[in-house]
Chain A
Amino acid sequence: MKPLTVNFRSKAAMTLADAQIQQSIEHVYTGFYKGRLTAAGDTPDWEDLRTKGKAIKDHTIAHLDYYLGLLADNVEKNGGSVFFADDAEEARRHIIDLAHKRKIKTVIKSKSMVSEEMGLAEAMNDEGFETVETDLGEYIIQLANETPYHLIAPAVHKSRADVAKLLDDDYKDGDRVPDATELTMMAREKLRGVFERADMSVTGVNFAVAESGSIALVTNEGNGRMSTTVPRVHVAVMGMEKIIPSIQDLSTMLRILIRSATGQRISTYVTMVNGKRRPEEEEGPEEFHLVILNNGRQKLLEDPQMRESLNCIRCGACLNACPVYRKVGGHAYGWVYPGPIGAIVTPVLTGLKDADNLPAASSLCGACHDVCPVKINIPRMLLELRYRTAEGSTDKDERTSSATERGIWKAWRMGMMGRRRFDIGSRIASIALKPLSRNGWLTKVPPPISGWTSTRDFPAISMSSLKSRLRKRNEGSK
């Protein structure tokens, strides 16, 4: 998928002005966020689980080579094949070649953000394979020819009427809006035949278990299980960080993932796949292929300030908690991963220069850090990326700050380095702004802070500092 991070501001502005999307997206707070809060509250050892989850991921990422090797060995022992893809292009080519060789006609996909990175469904359709998304949200997005809006709820921005229009060619504005069950039945009718004729499936991986060579899939619609049992070829795709050492670890990770994502204690389906069908088994694919994608993750791994972002288990909790995501929506972030986690991984994976607005678009409220099931300190990394765009601290080419901006902060520093300058600067500002102020407030201020008064009054700067007030106070009491 081609990054469009450079359009952040304009996409954000469009979403801010779209009342329907603003209303739809409220659900991530009232539904998911509140659900997570309740589920976490009902889990007595919740904080311990988060600590454990973080420790598991820290350990795995620190020994990633070892665990990837172990995983590959065990998948092969189970009769599967493993392919390490350096980038999206290589992964796409591998999967398309595989499909050609197996004379595949129909491919069913279950939800996978990594396959979005690859732009896989589109590429396979272009190659002549009938490729259909089977997760309801992804299916809606595919019909709308859009990209996912949210990590776990790809079509969260769509109203029911929007969905009805996509599923039913005859649906017109003003018709009765079908309820969620009716919409699901419409999609089910369309998808059933595709499931029956599919000869290949592509699924994601929620966790790959190194010690057993198994993959775990978390779904609520049953499409994941259909995908792993019906077609004769199963291809699972994963980012190289989606790995944990053992089955015991899986029990911890599933608990925190599912509660953080939807507030459920467990999802409707948790599917474990140990590769292809064995001789004694009645169902399952004849072939199992695991594609492990790098696509820039090595850069995160080698970057001590950003490495922790590889701990992410893609639950989406940080999106639901984020006041910025809930206003600007998922498409503003311009690539696969939206919200706070997107704001830290997208710039590294796709290039910071074009994505400099992503880390800038944060009030640093810390809600993302607070809800993260593996305690990723996202604000700290947003600040790190701001450091890089402001000063080109790790790569001069990444500097996007303007000369004016740099000048302002230089002047700020000079003003802060001495108390006299600090006082004089403030008094000059207060005198300069005084003619514009009424009752201690201003309705218009000059640059560089003019943005403030587009929507808010600005406080007049006090004519006296606290220092002088306290001095007077002390003199008075003597």
Chain B
Amino acid sequence: MSENTSTTPRPDRVTLFASCMVDQLAPDVGESTVEVLEYLGVMVDFLDDQTCCGQPAFNSGFRSEAYPVAERFVDLFEKVNGPIVVPSGSCAAMVRNYYGDLFRGNAELADRAKRVGDRLFELTEFVSQFFGTDAISGSRVGTATYHKCCHLLREIGVDEQPIEMLTNIDGLEFSPLERADVCCGFGGAFSVKMPDISSAILDEKLDFIEANGSSTVVAADTGCVYQMQGGLRRRGSGVQVVHIAQVLAESIKNSDSPEVKR
């Protein structure tokens, strides 16, 4: 699905959709995303007016509230050309797979949304599809494992590509996580609405993380990163959970010869 298709021309300019969470809670992830893209020779534009795709309200059932926010997203991003990159599989899935449902009463808007969605890529999807999973060869010493965030895996279809990207980093000792494709229990508002169930699911995940023994857990969605890190901190564990954009950006910085592989 997202193999390196070398016949596709490599984009040299994209628009970043930060996602509301990265924008306000985790700007580091956003900066790392920009650094990764620039390393690949891609110029990154940022639309100052962006806020949210509408997913939080949509997933909670409040479509009347999600609708104008999503419509605003479409209005904003249809004004720019070329690929849109977001460091979140969940937000990518909202725009690509669920705007059709949200806008089902408005065929014209649904159609416009689809055209925006067709240009929207999740970060690791974008990198692996246009540049290949071996395009970033930095170095980062340490042990790491990878959790497969649900929406990136099942809605966007990115599975092993991020792992290939991680194993391409010098000094990074990768060991696969048991039940890597099982949910961490985040689920947006679900994590707050039903914290007991959300945490029981998380506990299973954290048991496997601790059994894995890696000092770093890599994931590609900020919500899942916070769910796992928040739980590990509460357990008193020193394991760090980081967004893949940060690992890649850090590896690039650590690399001796940061040259663009094009």
**Taking beta carbons and an 8 Å cutoff, which residues of A are in contact with B?**
9, 12-13, 16, 323-324, 327-328, 360-367, 369-370, 380, 383-391, 393, 401, 406, 409-410, 412-413, 415-419, 422-423, 426, 441, 448-452, 454-459, 461-462, 464-467, 469-470, 473
**Which of B26, B31, B199 has a CB less than 8 Å from the CB of A470?**
B31
- Interface-forming stretch among B135-143, B164-172, B189-197, B253-261? B189-197
Q: Chain A residues near B239 (CB, 8 Å)?
A: none
CA distance A466 to B28 in the complex (A): 8
Q: Which of A380, A384, A454, A462 contacts B195 (CB 8 A)?
A: A454
What does the 1/0 interface line of B57-85 toward A look like (CB < 8 Å)?
11111111110110010000000000000
B200 and A426 contacting across the interface, CB-CB below 8 Å: no
Once A410-B65, A412-B57, A469-B31 are accepted as A-B contacts, the answer to whether A13 and B190 lie under 8 Å apart by CB is: no
Evaluate contact between B62 and A409: CB separation under 8 angstroms: yes
A414 closest partner in B (C-beta):
B65
Specify which chain B residues have a CB less than 8 angstroms from the CB of A367 in the assembled complex.
150, 154, 181-183
Bound CA span A13–B198, Å: 12
Smallest Cβ distance from B230 to chain A, in angstroms? Answer: 3
Interface string of B10-35 (1 = CB under 8 A from A): 00000000101011111100110010
Q: Considering residues B58, B60, B234, which has the most beta carbons from chain A within 10 angstroms of its beta carbon? A: B60
Q: Which residues of B contact A (CB under 8 A)?
A: 18, 20, 22-27, 30-31, 34, 46, 48-52, 54, 56-66, 68-69, 72, 98, 101, 150-151, 154-155, 181-183, 185-188, 190-202, 204, 226-227, 229-231, 233-234
Interface of A is mostly: helix
Is the CB–CB distance between A383 and B61 below 8 Å?
yes
Closest chain B CB from A208 CB (angstroms): 32
CB-nearest residue of chain B to A368: B154
How far apart are the CA atoms of A325 and B182 in the complex, in Å?
Answer: 13
Are A422 and B58 within 8 A (Cβ)? no
By a CB distance below 8 angstroms, the chain B residues around A448 are 192
- B191/A383 in contact, CB under 8 A: no
Give CA–CA (A346, B148) in the complex, Å.
Answer: 30
Q: In whole angstroms, what is the CA distance A157 to B220 when docked?
A: 35
Q: Which chain B positions have C-beta within 8 A of A364?
A: 59, 150-151, 187-188, 190
**Chain B residues whose CB sits within 8 angstroms of the CB of A413 once the complex forms:** 57, 65-66, 68-69
Please determine whether A363 and B185 come into contact, CB atoms closer than 8 angstroms.
yes
Is A464's CB under 8 angstroms from B154's CB? no
- Tell me, in angstroms, the Cα distance from A388 to B60 when the chains sit together: 10
Chain B residues within an 8 Å CB radius of A458: 226, 230
* From A363, A387, A426, residue with most partner B Cβ within 10 Å: A363
| Smallest CB separation, B46 vs chain A (Å) | 5
Q: Does A451 lie within 8 Å of B192, measured CB to CB?
A: yes
Interface contact A466-B65, CB-CB below 8 Å: no
Q: A416-B54, A462-B27 are in contact. List 10 more A-B contacts (CB 8 A).
A: A363-B150, A364-B187, A366-B151, A385-B61, A426-B24, A451-B192, A455-B231, A456-B199, A456-B226, A467-B48
* Chain B residue at minimal CB-CB distance from A421: B51
Which residues of B lie under 8 Å from residue A450 when comparing CB positions?
192
User: Distance in Å from the Cβ of A22 to the closest Cβ of chain B?
Assistant: 8
Supposing A466-B18, A466-B22 touch, asked if A401 and B27 sit within 8 A by C-beta, the answer is no
A469 touches B27 (CB 8 A): yes
Please indicate the chain B residues that have their CB under 8 angstroms from the CB of A469 in the complex: 27, 30-31
| A412-B192 contact, Cβ under 8 Å, with A422-B24, A457-B233 | no
Q: How far is the CA of A459 from the CA of B200 in the complex (A)?
A: 20
Given contacts A366-B154, A383-B59, A452-B192, A324 and B20 within 8 Å (CB-CB) = no
Say yes or no: A327 contacts B197, CB within 8 Å. yes
With A and B bound together, what is the CA distance between A363 and B151 in angstroms? 10
- Can you list 12 A-B contacts (CB < 8 A)? A323-B183, A323-B204, A363-B150, A366-B155, A383-B101, A401-B61, A406-B62, A450-B192, A458-B226, A462-B27, A465-B24, A473-B31
Also in contact, A327 and B30, with CB within 8 A (given A365-B187, A393-B63, A462-B24): no
The CA-CA distance from A385 to B61 in the complex, in Å, is 8
Q: Which of B27, B182, B193 makes the CB contact (< 8 A) with A323?
A: B182
B25 in contact with A461 (CB, 8 Å): yes
Minimum Cβ distance to chain B for residue A305 (Å) = 9
A232 CB to closest chain B CB (Å) equals 49
Provide the bound-state CA to CA distance between A385 and B60, in Å: 10
For the complex of A and B, list the 10 residue pairs with the smallest distance between their C-beta atoms, beginning with the closest.
A363-B187, A390-B61, A386-B61, A456-B230, A365-B183, A466-B30, A451-B195, A365-B150, A366-B154, A455-B199
For the complex, give the distance between the alpha carbons of A74 and B227 in Å. 56
* Chain A proximity of B40: nearest CB distance (Å): 17
Q: State the Cβ distance, B253 to closest chain A Cβ, in Å.
A: 14
Contacts of A16 in B (CB 8 A): 196-197, 200
Say yes or no: A409-B57 contact (C-beta < 8 A), given A419-B51, A459-B230: yes
Chain B residues closer than 8 Å to A323, beta-carbon distance:
182-183, 185, 201, 204
Are B183 and A416 interface neighbours, CB within 8 A? no
Q: Which residues of B sit under 8 angstroms from A470, Cβ to Cβ?
A: 30-31, 34, 46
- A451 to B66, alpha carbons, bound, how many Å? 23
From A386, A393, A401, give the contact of B59 (CB < 8 A): A386
Q: Which residue of B lies closest to A12 (CB)?
A: B197
Given known A-B contacts A327-B200, A416-B69, A422-B51, A455 and B186 have beta carbons under 8 A apart: no
Given the known A-B contacts A383-B59, A401-B61, A466-B18, are A461 and B24 also in contact in the complex, defined by CB atoms under 8 Å?
yes
Separation in Å of the B50 CB from the closest CB of chain A? 7
Task: Kindly provide the distance from the CB of B66 to the nearest chain A CB, expressed in whole angstroms.
Answer: 8
How many angstroms from the CA of A324 to the CA of B201 in the assembled complex?
7
Nearest residue, chain B, Cβ from A441 = B233
Given the known A-B contacts A406-B62, A422-B20, are A459 and B98 also in contact in the complex, defined by CB atoms under 8 Å?
no
The distance from the CB of B25 to the nearest CB of chain A, in whole angstroms, is 6
A9 to B194 alpha-carbon distance, docked (Å): 9
Give the Cβ gap from A203 to chain B, nearest Cβ, in Å. 36
Complex contact B98–A464 (CB within 8 A): no
Q: Given A323-B185, A360-B194, A416-B20, decide whether A457 and B234 contact each other with a Cβ distance below 8 A.
A: yes
Taking a contact as CB atoms under 8 Å apart, the answer to whether A386 and B69 are in contact is: no
Nearest CB in chain A to that of B225: its residue? A459
Given contacts A323-B182, A413-B57, contact A451 B193 (CB under 8 A): yes
B-side contacts of A466, CB under 8 Å: 18, 22-24, 27, 30-31, 46
Are A419's CB and B199's CB within 8 A?
Answer: no
Given known A-B contacts A422-B20, A466-B27, A456 and B72 have beta carbons under 8 A apart = no
User: Do A390 and B62 touch (CB < 8 A)?
Assistant: yes
Instruction: Determine the chain A residues whose CB is within 8 A of the CB of B31 once the complex forms.
Output: 466, 469-470, 473
CB–CB B68/A417 < 8 A: yes
* Cβ–Cβ < 8 Å partners of A370 in chain B: 154
